[in-house]
Amino acid sequence: MKNNAIKYRKIRGINRRKRAIEQWGEVNKVLDVDLLNQDKRDYVEFLVDPWSRLSLINSIYPEPTSDCEYLLIKSVQNIYQSWKDSLEALQTPYYLQIWLRENYVSRSQVVCAIDEMKDFYDDTFEAIDKQPKNGIQSSIHYNSNTAEYLDCFEWKLYRCVQAYDLADPWDAEYVQSLNSQQLLIKQIIGQIEYQIVEIDKVWLICT
């Protein structure tokens, strides 16, 4: 099975998309405290059409750029701040974080947890020892528009990693198609050899 080149689809109705991003941000600013107390964790994903649409063919929409990227980052920061105010009012230890994806910004999230789930996300990402010299300013998302929001915090860069079973033909072929810089280490887990792959980098707020 050969991997076909991904085709990028044109996004139409950009003003409508921008309004949808703003609406998404406003709707998700209110933390559902009752649900949080029940489940002990909550999160919000960027569910805005067309970026959240499942593609059934070998084509995808390009990641948000320009005004759409700016509005996404603005909305994520506003959700974070609103949730922080709600969590502070609970007067209980909590985890609250923005997961700002570097290459796939549309997969960014705001995540929180309380009580016994507070440490649930501690090992979600792998630390990177050598941080970019200019910090968040080295991000592809940093520009004159987004600086207003990204400069509100100090950020640290982490890796998103995933393990692929080298005995599985599909996994093995996918690994072979990757850039060598994405290939980290091989690990034996339960007598199965896995290739650990960096699938993206993610910026987290220093806390």
Place of tokens 């393990």: 163
End-to-end CA distance of the chain: 45
Q: 3-state DSSP helix/strand/coil percent for the chain, to nearest 5? A: 35, 30, 40
Per-residue pLDDT of the chain (207 residues; tens, 9 = 90+): 444 444 545 555 678 889 999 999 999 999 999 999 999 999 999 988 877 765 545 556 788 989 999 999 999 999 999 999 999 999 999 999 999 999 999 999 999 999 999 999 999 999 998 999 999 999 999 999 999 999 999 999 999 999 999 999 999 999 999 988 899 999 998 889 999 999 999 999 998
Instruction: Supply the pTM of this predicted model.
Output: 0.86
